[in-house]
Structures are given as C-alpha cells and as structure tokens.
Structure 1
Amino acid sequence: MNRIFLIMLIIGIPLSVIGGMLHFPTILMFVIYCLTIIALASFMGRATESLTLVVGPRIGGLLNATFGNAVELIISIFSLKAGLIGVVLASLTGSVIGNLLLVGGLSFFIGGLKFKVQKFNVFDARHNSGLLMFAVIVAFVIPEMFSRNLTEAKTMTLSAGIAIILILLYIAALLFKLVTHRGVYHTKESEENIETEEPEWSKGKAILILALATLVVAYISEKLVHTFETVGEQMGWTELFIGVIIVAIVGNAAEHASAVLMAFKDKMDVAVEIAVGSTLQVAMFVAPILVLISLFYSQSMPLVFTIPEIVAMVTAVLLNIVISNDGESNWFEGATLVAAYLIMGLGFYLL
C-alpha cells in the first residue's frame, strides 16, 4: 500500500503543477489534486505514527490530529479567501461527523474484525465526552439560536467571542491532559504495545517529512479550492455536499488511515485519541481560528451553521458518546457508526 501511495505522489505532484499551467480539464485536475493530497496524507500518517512510538499515545494522537487537521485548515483558509463561506462551514461539519462516525467507526470495525473486544482508556473517553458536549452542542448551537434575533454585526461579535473562549478552553484541556494530570488516568497496556515496536522513521526524518508534506499540501490545496465551483456545476453537487463529504474526507485522509492502522494493531488509545482528539481540535481550535482569520477578509464567517449541519453534528456526538463511554469497542459498534455516517452522507447529497 505504501508503494502505491509513493507512485501516486511521484505522478501526482508533477501533474498538479503541469496540469495547472497547461489548463487541463477541471474535473481531471480536481481528481488529481484530491488523490495527491490523499497520498501526501498517508506519508503524514506514517510520520506521525513513528513519532507516536517515540513520544507516547496521547502526544502522538495529538500530533496526528494536528497535522491531519493542518490539511483541512489550509484548504479552509484558501476557501475563505475565495469567499466560499458555505464550503468552509460545511467542511467543519464534515470533519466532526467524519471523525466521530467514519474514522471512529472504521477503527472500531476493522479492529473488531481482528480482536473480539478492544479496550481503551475509559477515563479519557469520559473526559472527551464532556468536551464534545461543550464544543459541539453548546458552542455551535448557541450562535445559531441567538443569531435569529441579532443583527449581522452582533452575530459576528458573538461568534468572535465564542471563538476566543473555545481556544482558551482547548489550551486548558491540553494543559490538563499533558501537564497537570499527565499519568493520573493511565493504562499500562498501551505503553507496553508502544515499547515493543520500532518506529519506521527516526524522529528527525519524521518531522522533516511532516514539514515538507504540509508545504506541498498547502500549494495543492490552493489549486483544489479553485476547482470547487466548476466541479459542483458539472457534477450537480452543492457547496454543502462538497464541504461536508469531499473536502472533509480529503482533508482528513491522514487521520482516516492512521486511526484504522492503529486499531488494526490493537492500539485503541491512539486510534480513539486521533478520532475524538481531532474532532475536539476542529471544534475548539480550527473553527475558532477560521472565524478570527475571516475578520481580515472582505467577507467574515460567523459561527452559524445550518439546521441540517447542527442536527448531524449533535447526533454524531451523542451516538459516539453512547458507544465509546464504556472504554470498549467491537466490530458491530463500528458498523453502527459507519451506517450513521452513510445515512447522513446520503441526506447531504440529496439536500
């Protein structure tokens, strides 16, 4: 599989440059850009996996989520610049439901096919549940409800205020998990698994690959954004569907691959940290940062989602909490999460 991604990369990067210069058909370039970003994401996933073996599951999961979300953040910034506010909000929705239902579901399902029952840190699961409830249900629902009785300027002020609060709480959450309460909620199994495996790449090489891949992703993402409008018209896709499904899947490809791989190796602490940690980072850091960045563009982005987007995110959060709060998973629970994602995907496609 790694060889296939390497071939995709060797072919995809030159084609991305040449195709843009020679004005290849937009649909063709859209496919090339997406496949190249997915190939780059696989290398980012392998690099973060190597770092995980060095620094441990919590920091490793955080690194994976951060660099996985870096792809989406870059795509979203260029989308904001192009005035595609709907695509950005939809991609944030897609990240939340994609990470909780698709990434989490595939991790539980693939891991569950190999192991009958897989266990992960129940204390982390419960801690993350509270943050998910706050970040998605409180911070995303309130702007939508209050905006109905507020002017556009006041709605933007409310969004900016909520964005700052979310970022501060996210930093506090990192301090709680990695500093003040590090090792308090502890599982020996995950450390034993980490210690017995050698990293594929050294720490320095992994960091270098992550940095280079992120730079190339930034270049290709800018090109990708300019294809959205034409592709939407030709394929009959709405901005909502492009954002929720296409951008979210392409932007989170690194997490998808890494989380499933970790689950297959029975490293569920890392897999869950990637899926849920990435969701929290999107809701509490990426979305607020995009709101604040949009203040510098001609068109600001309030933190106001459509009703279908909010319903989808709240449902994904509640379903994930119910299934994962016991600290155990199996293939059927994974299938349930994936089924929920497919139902939502079908709804957004038809909307």
Structure 2
Amino acid sequence: MGHLLTEIRKNPMLWLLVAVPVVLVAERTKPDAHTLLFLLSVLAIVPLAALLSRATEAVAARTGDSIGGLLNATLGNLTEMVIAFAALKAGQYALVKASIAGAIVTNSLFMLGGAMLLGGLRYHVQTFNVVAARLQAMLLFAATVALLVPSLITAADRVPAGPAVQNLSAALAVLLILAYGLGLVFSLGTHRSELAAIGPESEHEETWPLALSIGVLAGVTVLVALVSEIFVASVEVAGHSLGLSPAFIGFIVVALVGAAAEMTTAFSAAMRDRLDLAIGIALGSAVQIALFVAPLMVLLSYVIGPTPMGLQFWPGAVIMMMIAALTARFLTSGGRSTWFVGVMILVVYAIFGLTLYLIPPTP
C-alpha cells in the first residue's frame, strides 16, 4: 500500500482521484444534474485510467517491448471497453460506434503524432523497428477495411440495413477476432525476434509488488465500470447543453479520456528514446480496438444489447478511419522519425476534430 500512496503523492494526475467519490455521491444526491455528472465523470476516469496504466507497467516490468506494448494496449483499452460496454447495454449504439472510430483515429494519429513530436524535440532523429511498425500499420489497414465494408456496401449498392447486413457484420466480427489471435501468434511467437525493439534497453525502475498491481487492476476496473455507467447516462443531455454532438463526444472526448493513461506511457517512452514501445502502444491499441473491441461489441450486442448492432458507420467516420490507417502506414514505413513528422500527424487529427465540431454528422 505504501507504493500506491507514494505514487499518488508524486503524480499530480492521480490527485484527481478525489473526483471518484465526488461523482458517486453526486449521482446519488443530484441525479438530474447531467452536465455536472458528465464533467465529474470525465475528471474521474482520467486518474483511474492513469492508475490502471501504472499497474499495467508494474505487471509488464519484466517483459520486452513487444509484450509490454501489448499489455499496455490491452489494459489501457479496458477503459474504452468498459465505456463501450455500458453504452451498448444502454442501447446507445451511436456512442459505441463513435467511441470505436474515435479510439482508432486518436490512437493512430494523436498518440502516435504526439509521441513522435515529443521524442523528436528531445532527440534529433529517432529510429524504430520498421518491420514491427509496418506489421501494426498493415493490421490496422486490414481491420479498417473490414470495418468499413458494411458501410460502403450499403451506401454504394443502396442495400437497406437488414438481416443480411447484420449477418455480414457478425461474420466479419468472428473473422476479425480470429485475425487478431493469429496476429498475436505471429508477433509474440513465430517472428518475435524480427519484431524486437532496436532502441535502448528498458530502464530499471522500482516496480510494485505483483499482488498490489493485480489488486489495483481489479479495484480500478470496478470503479471505472461504476463511473462509466454515470458517464453514459449523462452524456446525451450534457452534450446537448454543452453544444456538443454525440459523434464529437464519442469520437473526441471519450477517445481522449480513455486513452489518457496510454498516452502518458507512450509519450514518456518516446522521450526516453524508446520509440518502438511508443509506436507499439499507439498502433497496437488502435489495432486492438479495430480487430478485437469493435467485433466483440457486435457479438455482445446479441446478448446484452436491446437489438443486434452492426458495423455500419456514418460516412465521415468511414473516411476518417481510412485516412488514419493510411497515414499511419505511410509515415511509419521509413524506420526514422523527427518532430516534424509528429506535427504532420497531429495536423491531420486536428482537421478531423475541427470538422466534427463544426459539421456534426446528421443523426
């Protein structure tokens, strides 16, 4: 417990943990104050995600960058998964899809661009394993194509949404999860040596005891679930009062809040010249959202959702996800990075954010 208290004292982001009991109490005493509950839940999710990331780092301390990046991406995505699960259960499929698309774009553009910018400002030129980066970018592109097919087919061929499209979504969900599993076998098994990091060795830092790390992971997961329920219940009314569309909230706000801890880890790694780890977290998280979380939500909708959810996205999300995948693929193909590369990636993300804010999609 001493390790946890020390971490809270030295990390200002964790001071926001005070918002967790506040939002839980406010939900009981002021259930109709949706805007207040929305803002408090956002403030509460950020430190919970940071604590989740810190516990993940402790568990992954003795692994290499490949497994460490996978663990950070997996447990870092837990926040987005819990929020999506709560929205799925409430039947807010527009929020689920917006958060999925936003997580893919945010991780592959904002997180990747930010890591390259911060690392490039500290080091003149950074290098990374181009084979590993190309693999992640290739998986992201393939997954994005599969996610876009139902939307493109229904729009191009004017096929009405119905059982056939839903069956296609379910089949694609199973295919994507299978592809994700095979990708893990490839990157962590048969070709692990080819995908190893080429940067400096991991620094030896004080890590938490394993029991404490697992306990924190379990406790934070429960708290994230409770706060996410409040967030989802208040997001629609709060968004309307703040002048934000559901698409903007899911695509930008939920994605940034959910990925806050992963971003901290990726940015820190890049500033220690461990760009391989930063890229592994950024693109690995985007790939996991596209290949695992999105299809999982489709399959879970048959069990916990009011009706089955398909993989049809609004046209703007289709375009943004495809551009994000192509940008990540193009800018990670050289094996070298500078701060200006990060700026260019961030500019693309800013274009998407401004577009969604000023021209929200039609419901």
TM-score tier by shorter-chain length is over 0.9
Match of 2:279 in 1: 272
Q: CA deviation at 1:339?
A: 1.1
Match of 2:249 in 1: 242
- State the AA in 2 paired with 1:146: I
- State the AA in 1 paired with 2:319: V
Match of 2:20 in 1: 13
CA gap 1:285/1:2 in 2 versus in 1, 3 angstroms: farther
More displaced 10-residue stretch of structure 1: 54-63 or 145-154: 145-154
| SS state at 2:62 partner | helix
Match of 2:63 in 1: 55
Asked if the contact 2:199/2:275 (under 8 Å) is kept, the reply is no
| SS state at 2:60 partner | helix
Indicate whether 1:287 and 2:294 are aligned.
Answer: yes
Q: Distance in 2 between matches of 1:174 and 1:219?
A: 31
Asked if the contact 2:34/2:234 (under 8 Å) is kept, the reply is yes
Q: CA deviation at 1:2?
A: 4.3
Q: CA deviation at 1:133?
A: 1.7
Q: Distance in 1 between matches of 2:212 and 2:105?
A: 33
Asked if the contact 1:49/1:199 (under 8 Å) is kept, the reply is no
Q: CA deviation at 1:295?
A: 1.4
Mark the runs of 5 or more structure 2 residues left unpaired by the alignment: 1-8
- State the AA in 1 paired with 2:164: K
Q: Number of residue pairs matched?
A: 346
More displaced 10-residue stretch of structure 1: 165-174 or 82-91: 82-91
Deviations 1:315-337 (A, max 9, x none): 11111111111122111111111
Match of 1:154 in 2: 164
Runs of 4+ in 1 over 4 A off after TM superposition: none
Q: Distance in 1 between matches of 2:235 and 2:197?
A: 45
Asked if the contact 2:34/2:235 (under 8 Å) is kept, the reply is no
CA gap 1:189/1:162 in 2 versus in 1, 3 angstroms: same
Q: CA deviation at 1:93?
A: 0.9
TM-score calculated relative to the size of structure 1: 0.94
| SS state at 2:124 partner | coil
Q: Distance in 2 between matches of 1:209 and 1:240?
A: 32
RMSD across aligned positions (CA): 1.6
In the TM superposition, what are the counterparts of 1:24-39 in structure 2 within 5 Å?
25-39=33-47
Mark the runs of 5 or more structure 1 residues left unpaired by the alignment: none
Indicate whether 1:233 and 2:240 are aligned.
Answer: yes
Q: Distance in 1 between matches of 2:16 and 2:97?
A: 30
Matching residue within 174, 178, 190 for 1:180: 190
Matching residue within 55, 58, 81 for 1:73: 81
- State the AA in 1 paired with 2:278: A
Q: CA deviation at 1:96?
A: 0.9
- State the AA in 2 paired with 1:301: M
Q: Distance in 2 between matches of 1:19 and 1:324?
A: 45
Q: Distance in 2 between matches of 1:129 and 1:83?
A: 32
Asked if the contact 2:129/2:198 (under 8 Å) is kept, the reply is no
Q: Distance in 1 between matches of 2:76 and 2:98?
A: 17
CA gap 1:265/1:206 in 2 versus in 1, 3 angstroms: farther
